[in-house]
Amino acid sequence: MARIPREIIDEIRSRCDIEDVVGSYVSLKRAGSNIKGLCPFHSEKTPSMVVYPSSQSFYCFGCGAGGDVVTFTMKYHNLDYMGAIEYLASRAGISLPQSFEEEDRGVPRKRVYELNLAAARYMRECLFDPQIGGEAMRYLHEERKLSIATIKHFGLGFAPNHPFLMLQHLRGLGFTDDEMRAGYIEAISTKTQKPYSIFRNRVMFPIIDTSGNVIAFGGRVMDDSKPKYLNSSDTPAFKKSRNLFALNFAKGNCAERMILCEGYMDVIALHAAGYPFAVATLGTAITSEQARLMTKYTKQVIITYDSDEAGQKATDRAMKILGEVGMDVRVLSMSGAKDPDEYIKKYGAGQFTKLIDESRRGFYYKMNVILAGHDVNIADEKIRAADEISTVIAEFESGVEREVYTDAAAKNLNIPHDVLKNDVERKRKRRIRSEKSKEAQDARMSARGIGDKVNPDAARYFAANVAEETILGLLLEFPEHRAAVVSGKVELAADDFVTALGRRIFEATMELEGSEGGFDYALMGESFTPDEMGRMQKMMRMRRELSENGLPVLIDSIERLKAEGEKAKAKSSGDRLAAIEARRRELAKKKEENT
């Protein structure tokens, strides 16, 4: 099954202890013989992810993510199996054979890195060529007041206003059209069917990851063309929801706090002014993945979005998402300028430092926005403002925070503290009841397989799926059961499985069991997604928690599966006959209407 020799994968896994790898991204605490931490794959405040050193695996009881060190790397870095193997091999100082690195997997991530670096160098040369990039350089150097040192520091460039020049240059370096399309450098015209450069007549901002790889680009157009800013789409080397602009510079300067900006120029202006801990999202609203990424590097985030209506909505969203991952969120209030870049140019870096130091917790920002929208001298307006503010306070988990914020709001509204506190606690209890009700409903749906994206067949064939998961958990966990199936002592075939996922897992398990090296769960990652690996981890964990896992349990489950399989076939046959009969009646009715 595996294209990479098993001994190489074993060596990579032995050098990449799961506790060390997961611990480099997540703060872990010992819990008996295992280790717990906040899951990096969904937002939570109470740790629900467990790392099992004995089996070199992990499982999240909150979102169902699970697997081994390769699966974790695939899911965390958005890599395919080979990409994760390459990443871990590099981390462990292991050289992969060239033949495996060049395996046909579409366009490898490494090749896109090379393409982007070549494109960045070319666009930088264009920017510094007066014949090609003169206007762009004037914009950066004279209009935006960026020094040449800052321009070079960020690797800024210029994409010529020509559909083919950059493509011709990159072809001359050996890059193919397929590679340039995969890297979002080239597109095909729907009118002429000819290739053209996606980025044209734009000041270019290379996006660099924390390892120093150029992973994507953002470009600002130099005329009135739309869109004003164009960003790379997702590629084998880049997922915009999981990266931040300038984090490669900020990562070493943001232990205490990080500034979150809206755009590239704000970040660059802040770095140039002596604030190297500024970052920006990449043309989209902040995502939960970006918020969790920030927790790796800092304790506090100061939001510096524009103060217009769109900026306020973006601030609210960012506060919510950052708060969900436990970040200390502050909001910087500016007056007299629309963004940090303009503010620093008008008032200087010293005054901006004062604004940073005076930034307040997100609640005070929200309260001030609400108060600004109501005339609290009018009774009805005061009631509405109090209702909105109490709703905001009720969202906070900390009793101390609720008490402090209630006191501040009561003073601003000029109403008794206890009156507002009663409203807050009533809304909080209502929210908790609603959340528990939703959790119970989700649990019931999950138990019935409803909404199961990993195994869509689970809800339709509920009883069969229960039997399948028992069987697969036994086979994945216990070698004696795999041996019993291979030898024929226990009769079980792929056709006995009703769900497509169950059938695939069984086939892959038996194929590995019959191979020269025998079954190894770690090798399953080559054929299954991280989410599917997590489902297998759940199946194995459930068997480990039960005392009865002997042959009678396996045989009984197989008998139940086969019985359910017969029912499923009969139902499927009946459904087909019913559909045929319905179609026959529909045609007969149309024929009758036409005569």
Model pLDDT for residues 364-405, shown as the tens digit of each residue: 888 988 998 899 999 999 999 999 999 989 988 788 989 999
Tokens 């370096």, located at residue: 173
462-577 belongs to which CATH class?
A: mainly alpha
pLDDT of residue 414: 92
Rounded mean pLDDT, 189-198: 91
**Spatial distance between the Cα atoms of 331 and 356, rounded to a whole number of angstroms:** 9
Output 5 or 275, whichever has higher pLDDT: 275
Write the pLDDT tens digit of every residue in 519-552.
888 889 888 999 999 999 999 988 988 888 999 9
Task: Indicate if the pLDDT at residue 442 is higher than 70.
Answer: no
What tokens does 130 get? Answer: 């007066």
DSSP symbols for 231-256: EPPPBTTB-GGG--BTHHHHTTT-SS
CATH architecture of the domain 109-238 equals Alpha-Beta Complex (3.90)
Q: What pLDDT was estimated at residue 441? A: 60
Taking only the tens place, the pLDDT of each residue in 131-161 is: 999 999 999 999 999 999 999 999 999 999 9
In this predicted structure, what is the pLDDT of residue 516? 77
pLDDT for res 123? 98
Closest CA to 272 of 341, 325, 342, 354: 341
Selected residue with higher pLDDT from 323 and 148 = 148
Q: How confident is the model at residue 451 (pLDDT cuts 50, 70, 90)?
A: low
Percent of the chain with pLDDT over 90: 52
Partners of 158 in the β-ladder: 203
Pick the CATH number of 6-101 from 3.20.20.70, 3.90.580.10, 3.30.450.40, 3.40.50.10070: 3.90.580.10
Residues 6+ apart with CB under 8 A from 496: 558, 561, 562, 565
CA distance 241 to 244: 8
The DSSP call for residue 524 is G
Asked whether residue 350 carries a pLDDT value surpassing 50, the answer given is yes
Which tokens hold the place of 370?
């609400």
Q: Which CATH number fits domain 247-358: 3.40.50.1820, 3.40.50.10470, 2.60.120.260, 3.40.1360.10?
A: 3.40.1360.10
Query: Domains of the chain: which residue ranges?
Result: 6-101, 109-238, 247-358, 369-447, 462-577
For residues 483-490, give the mean pLDDT.
92
Rounded mean pLDDT of 306-323? 84
Of 530, 537, 472, 551, whose CA–CA distance to 504 is shortest? 472
| Nearest to 154, CA basis, from 284, 281, 267 | 267
| 3-class state of residue 330 by DSSP | strand
Question: Rounded to the nearest 5 degrees, what angle is found at the Cα of 175, between the Cα atoms of 173 and 181?
Answer: 145
User: Residues 234-290: pLDDT tens digits?
Assistant: 888 888 888 999 999 999 899 889 999 988 999 999 999 999 999 999 877 898 888
The mean pLDDT of the chain is 87
Q: Model's pTM, two decimal places?
A: 0.67
The widest CA-to-CA distance across the chain, in whole angstroms, is: 88
pLDDT of residue 546: 86
Q: How many CA atoms lie within 13 A of 339 on its CB side?
A: 16
Show Cβ contacts of residue 104 under 8 Å, excluding neighbours closer than 6 positions. Answer: none
Q: Which DSSP state fits 494?
A: G
Residue 42: how many CA atoms within 13 Å on its side-chain side?
A: 13
* Res 452 pLDDT > 80: no
Helix, strand, coil in percent for the chain, rounding step 5: 55, 10, 35
Q: Do 321 and 291 touch, CB atoms closer than 8 A?
A: yes
- What is the pLDDT confidence band of residue 6, given thresholds at 50, 70 and 90? confident
